[in-house]
Amino acid sequence: MKTECRGSALGSLLFGAAVWLAGALPASAFIAYVSNEKSNTVSVIDTDKWAAVKTIKVGQRPRGIEFTKDGKFVLVAVGDDDTIEVIDTATQQVVDKLPSGPDPELFVQDAAGKILYVANENDNTVTIIDIERRARIGDVQVGVEPEGMAISPDGKILINTSETTNMAHFIDTASRQIVANVLVDARPRFAEFKRDNSELWVSSEIGGTVSVIDPAKHAVITKIEFAIPGMRKEAIQPVGISITGDARTAFIALGPANRVAIVDAASHQVTKYLLVGQRVWHMAFTPDEKYLLVTNGVSNDVSVIDVAALKVIKTIQVGELPWGITIAKQ
Amino acid sequence: MIRLLVGLIGVGALATGAVAAEPVEIGIGYLGQASGKQTLSLLEQPANNDGAAGARLAIEDNNTTGKFLSQHFTLQESRLKEGDEVAAAAVALADQGAGFIIADLPADALLKAADAVRDRGAVLFNAGAIDDRLREQDCRANVIHTAPTRSMLADGLAQYLVWKQWKRWLLVLGSHENDKLFAEALRRSAARFGAKIVQEKVFEDNGGARRTDSGVTLIQRQMPVFTQSAPGYDVLVAADESQVFASYLPYRTWDPRPVTGSAGLVPTSWDGAHDQWGAVQLQNRFVTLNSRRMTARDMQAWTAVRMIGEAASRVNSGERKAVLDFLKGPDFSIAAFKGQRLTLRDWNLQLRQPILLADGRMVVSVSPQEGFLHQFSELDTLGVDRPETRCKLQ
């Protein structure tokens, strides 16, 4: 049964019967997949045990990682192999790959989970992939070193940030044309919409700020700045952003500052800094938004934040240089 | 119509769906010398386009960004041959519309070029000369420095050696003026960071070819003897910018000791092996364009051209004064794959930057080292700091 599963094409996997290894895992609520950039593995975390329960070997330099919308697969960009690998969540093995461009890093899916938009750092393009057909169906030329990717809640606008051009590019998903470019501070890494489409947040790693953009007017409304006593300014490098569904609270990973900033998402004021592991990078909520898991690259672990209490409650050891994280129901 | 559309969309956003307006042309000059220096290792022999290749890549990067802003950058290259007048060449570039000139010139030639174009309002970016005096007593208000200084390089090395607890140095210096200047910077670093120079030796350059068919036999006899009977030391620090002897020292010292400075572990602004902080993307772009690895001179020129592009995009203008005011202002910073933003020292227009320590194959470490603190920026633990400066910008 397993062999059959590995050998079949992704299309039939996506739409065929899922292989469920009943009893292989305890009946826990959620499962998190963490890409370990240096060890070329993905760690699987059981959120009931708050422990890594499995390590999956993947290609070289895994970074961007996302569950497919149906929860059956996890996609992981393996940049040094110039592809995106597909992990079957039932067997927890790599079963296929997608034709991304060179050096894929971050990607985003449309709401239906049919189209994948991939930032290819090496050739200044965003590649558009039909997931079911595993085919490249288009490219969009963007700025130098595309990185952050986000899709607007209504699905109409794709955002790509380019690290050396220092812009958020607004791409019409229907025409696949750039409709606007908004300058932000140096080295924009990540983009995140509020779920009501009222704001787009873009983190600038080297600039040290998060730009809050009005997506309708294509204009920066404000920039969130950070100050931590005793911490030099250059060490505060915002990367990952998560905003709660009610748009009240935002969490921003500050990289080598080893902290997650908590921001009142309405007033854009920083209310608290939580000490986590070293070089905190990306993050993901559990689907019930009770917990936020953040990857700490240099300390090789994941911190668990209790969202209601705004406290770090647990640290979980994973592989080397944990980078991205994605969480879904088991 | 297009202008109206841009106006409607609002400040900070630019419409690109429609045909863009005539782009703003921003001319950048590159002024360098025709022939590179002689090196001991064939591998270190500079390419003919050393430096200029970095500027060309940055022009491409600027233009990728520029197409969204209706800005277009061009590079005009000028190479000085033996006997060419540097002032005339600089003036010619400025008169052809280059408001910004990337210069890879020796110190005296750089000053001549800067003074020649001063009343034309042109700004020079020093992407080659590491002389401290260009940022101190001989500083100029129309020269921005992307090359690090000798004192920054020496401090970057010294911090690592002290962190490593290799505090007893055997200093070997060459007999040329540049070698003496580097030795002086190393003495200053030793005093600043608590290292001790146990002995100094001068390696006299008596002429002679760098390449001979059986030279290796001779060198193997010379170098151990030259480093014999030194007092106890942890590390040999060589000051040989002229490339006469330092590369002969590793594995040939009388005592088995690491070699640093001008050979072995070398402080530099860039290395072809540097792959941290997203540098791989830049390295890949460079190799694709130039079919060779990126050097420190290439990086210094790339950074200079990118600074102009960055400022032009921020002020949405190619106008010289607007660009220069932004570069000199408090909001300027540039991302250059060194893990943190780089800014200008406002007292002498030197770009603050981490210093890489490379051994020819790998980047061993990056200074400033942990624990070297500063009240303003840890990057100011490298080189001459504000309270010590002799620069009066004018």
- Shortest distance between the Cα of B314 and any Cα of chain A, in A, equals 8
Mean of pLDDT values over B243-266: 96
Chain B residues lying within 8 Å of A281, measured CB to CB: none
Q: For residue B272, what pLDDT is reported?
A: 97
Residue B8: per-residue pLDDT: 38
Give the range among A97-101, A160-164, B74-78, B204-208 with minimum mean pLDDT.
B204-208
In the predicted model, is pLDDT for residue B18 greater than 70?
no
Judge: B333–A207 Cβ closer than 8 Å, yes or no: yes
> Using the beta-carbon criterion (under 8 Å), do A143 and B15 form an inter-chain contact?
no
Provide the residue type at B175 as one letter: S
- Given a cut of 70, whether residue A183 has pLDDT beyond it is yes
**Interchain pair A164, B335: CB under 8 A:** yes
> Rounded to whole angstroms, how far apart are CA atoms B123 and B100?
5
Integer Cα distance of B99 and B92 in angstroms: 11
How far apart are the CA of A9 and the nearest CA of chain B, in angstroms? Answer: 33
Taking residues A70-82, what's their average pLDDT? Answer: 94
CA distances from B120 to A122, B93, B100, B114 (A): 40, 11, 11, 10
Contact A178 B61 (CB under 8 A): no
**CB nearest A186 (choices: B9, B11, B341):** B341
Q: pTM of the full predicted structure?
A: 0.88
Q: Check whether the bond before B368 is cis (ω within 30° of 0).
A: yes
What pLDDT, on a 0 to 100 scale, did the predictor assign at position B113?
Answer: 98
pLDDT tens digits, B30-47: 999 987 778 899 999 999
pLDDT band at A13, cuts 50/70/90? very low
The answer to whether the Cβ–Cβ distance between B379 and A207 falls below 8 Å is: no
- In angstroms, what CA-CA distances link B201 with A242, B181, B183, B196? 60, 15, 11, 14
Distances (CA, A) of A87 to A30, A43, A96: 17, 12, 7
Q: How confident is residue A121, by pLDDT bands cut at 50, 70 and 90?
A: confident
Please name the residues in contact with A133: beta carbons below 8 A apart, sequence gap of 6 or more. Answer: A11
What is the pLDDT at residue B11?
39
**Residue B212: its pLDDT value, please?**
66
Enumerate residues 6+ apart whose C-beta is below 8 A from B246: B40, B172, B174, B238, B239, B240, B259, B261, B262, B263, B264
Burial class (CB in 10 A: 0-12, 13-18, 19+), B225: exposed
* pLDDT, mean of residues B227-248: 95
* Sequence letter at residue A114: K
Out of A166, A180, A186, closest to residue B9 by CB: A180
Q: What is the pLDDT of residues A28-45, one digit of tens each?
A: 589 999 999 999 999 999
Residue A38 · residue A299 · CB < 8 Å? no
Those residues whose C-beta lies under 8 Å from the C-beta of residue B249, and which sit 6 or more positions away, are B172, B223, B227, B236, B238, B259, B263, B264
User: Inter-axis angle of helices B52-69 and B296-315, to 10 degrees?
Assistant: 20
- Mean per-residue pLDDT, B130-143: 98
What interface predicted TM-score (ipTM) does this complex get? 0.82
pLDDT at B10 over 50: no
pLDDT at A102: 83
B interface with A, Cβ–Cβ < 8 A, is 9-17, 61, 64-65, 68-69, 278, 281, 284-285, 306, 310, 313-314, 333-335, 339-341, 377-379
Block residue for tokens 């593995």: A41
Rounded percentage of chain B residues whose pLDDT exceeds 90: 85
- pLDDT the model gives residue B20: 52
Kindly indicate the confidence band of residue B340, based on its pLDDT and cuts at 50, 70 and 90. very high
**pLDDT computed for residue A18 by the predictor:** 41
pLDDT digits (tens, 9 = 90+) for A257-314: 999 999 999 999 999 999 999 999 999 999 999 999 999 999 999 999 999 999 999 9
Report the distance separating Cα B101 and Cα B93, nearest Å: 8
Q: What number of CA atoms fall less than 13 Å from residue A77's CA on the CB side? A: 26
Q: Strand pairing of A125-130 and A115-120?
A: antiparallel
Alpha carbon distance B211, B344 (integer Å): 41
Residues of chain A found within 8 Å of residue B12, distances taken between Cβ atoms: 182-183, 218-220
Q: What angle do CA B263, B268, B272 make, to 5 degrees?
A: 90
Residues of chain B found within 8 Å of residue A206, distances taken between Cβ atoms: 333, 335, 340-341
C-alpha pair distances (Å), A160 with each of A127, A168, B92, B271: 11, 6, 42, 30
What is d(CA B42, CA A260) in angstroms, rounded to the nearest whole number?
49
